[in-house]
Amino acid sequence: MSSIRLSAAELGAALAKGEITSVELTNQHFDRIAEVDTSVHAFLHLDKEGALAQANSVDAKRAAGEKLGPIAGVPLALKDVLTQKGIPTTCGSKMLEGWRPPYDSGVVTKLKDAGVVILGKTNMDEFAMGSSTENSAYGPTHNPWDLTRIPGGSGGGSSASLAAFEAPLAIGTDTGGSIRQPAAVTGTVGVKPTYGGVSRYGLVAFSSSLDQAGPCARTVLDTALLHEAIAGHDPRDSTSINSPVPQVVAAAKRLDVKGMKIGVVKEISGEGFQAGVRTRFEESLQLLVEAGAEIVEVSCPNFDYALAAYYLIAPSEASSNLARFDSMRYGIRVGDDGNRGAEEVMNLTRQVGFGREVKRRIILGTYALSSGYYDAYYGSAQKVRTLIKRDFEAAFTKADVLVSPTAPTTAFKIGEKSDDPLAMYLNDIATIPVNMAGIGGMSLPCGLAPEDGLPVGFQIMSPVMQDDLMYRVGGTLEAALNSKWGHTLISQIPDLQVR
């Protein structure tokens, strides 16, 4: 019998008891990928040989009586923005087509140490710039709930792989919502840890002060198990926090919010949000009240400027970071026929290698950093960022965690917003403030919108290095929702209409 619909925690327990081997489990997931991924397009590259070698190694260690971690032998899908030695890493771009990194990222090192089996690399918006995974140079990923709709972005491949039961665990990265927004629209769980809580070594940079890798799964507990596996200090990352990892697994199991104050952020919870999103959000608040929490309203007035400030800071840092893709050292090279100089080859390569959205953001960022405009644009945006941090600090004096809907709408149709950048950017209006302040953020599913029957996400935000608080609230809410419905939300996903 196939085990692909079990949670990672259940799979880890079955592996530990010898009810299934990691090789068997890995093969079951590759079979599922072969069955459905022509329709979903969650993966860009599969590493069947490497995955089965990892699985064999875990099975051998377990047979020898070696003590292994709770998710050793469990398969995982890896966003194609994190390096894995010898495995293609494209960041969803033609610019890096064919590049095989000579080293593992910090996250991959941790995954291998934990015995997690990496199935392959998932599709994404090019260089993590997008909210729909339509900006990938290799074609869009489709939402398993409705194949005509987006799976969110930039990490739509990772979230779709979970919803399609192609993997029980996944890794994403979150610069302005790229873990949480895909989780919201695919009915899965995604966490952006505190900035510096998970190593950024080997994460191909988009915006260095905002990028953060994090765990994705189908349950809060599974996400916590993966979080503990990948978190911790890495001396190779100068922004890595050298302090104990929050006890997120224990928090996810606690299922108790009695006496906690939960702050609803007025600026990102009302006007502009789809009616069904607000309905499911308010129902979830009521469940938390019934579980013993106190709901308070908080105001964070500078959140109104977060989107504008983000789209100055992130493109500015992207302009600097993406300058390294110059056709000289790695990736594709166009026009090098012996008759052109380096500058012309570089120009031709960047024209061909970068997609439209990446070019747009490089141009925006270069302009914002240019002489005479730096203080007016980039400098002002950094001042707004400070004000947003202060808003959070003030709010956390009134509440233990803050909450809002994760995304203003459910999943929209593929192509619906691709020609309207501003409409696309607005998808991250509720998630961006978390990145600007460097705090933790989680999205978990809180039901289906009555208008379209598609998943709605509930966002929980916690103070710096107190990620355990959002797991405590998330685990409690998930249990209350499952009890109310009599089933998990992900179990309601329609059967995929494989094309």
Residue 337 Cα to chain centre, angstroms: 41
**Pair of tokens at residue 70:** 């709770």
**Residue reference for tokens 């390569």:** 349
Say which of 7, 93, 159, 178 is annotated catalytic. 178
Q: Are 123 and 46 in contact (CB under 8 A)?
A: no
Say which of 132, 136, 154, 158 is annotated catalytic. 154
How far is residue 29's CA from residue 6's CA, in Å, rounded to a whole number?
Answer: 12
Which residues make Cβ contacts (< 8 Å) with residue 34, sequence separation at least 6?
A: none
**Nearest by Cα to 183 from 218, 231, 222, 148:** 218
Which residues make Cβ contacts (< 8 Å) with residue 339, sequence separation at least 6?
A: none
Q: How buried is 80 (Cβ within 10 angstroms: 0-12 exposed, 13-18 middle, 19+ buried)?
A: buried
Residue 178 annotated among the catalytic residues of the structure: yes
Q: Are 20 and 14 in contact (CB under 8 A)?
A: yes
Triad 11, 15, 16: Cα angle to 5°: 115
Residue 112 annotated among the catalytic residues of the structure: no
**Residue reference for tokens 């964070």:** 300
How far is residue 191's CA from residue 184's CA, in Å, rounded to a whole number?
Answer: 11
**Pair of tokens at residue 37:** 């991924």
E strands in 160-283 = 169-173, 189-192, 213-217, 261-265
E strands in 4-113 = 43-46, 75-79
C-alpha distance from residue 67 to each of 51, 61, 114 (Å): 21, 8, 11
Alpha-helical runs (H) found in 206-341:
220-230, 248-254, 275-290, 306-321
Say which of 22, 79, 199, 240 is annotated catalytic. 79
Which residues make Cβ contacts (< 8 Å) with residue 323, sequence separation at least 6?
A: none
**Residue reference for tokens 């179990």:** 491
Residue 448 backbone phi and psi in degrees, to 5:
-110, 135
How far is residue 252's CA from residue 229's CA, in Å, rounded to a whole number?
Answer: 15
Residue 327 annotated among the catalytic residues of the structure: no
Q: Which residues are catalytic?
A: 79, 154, 178
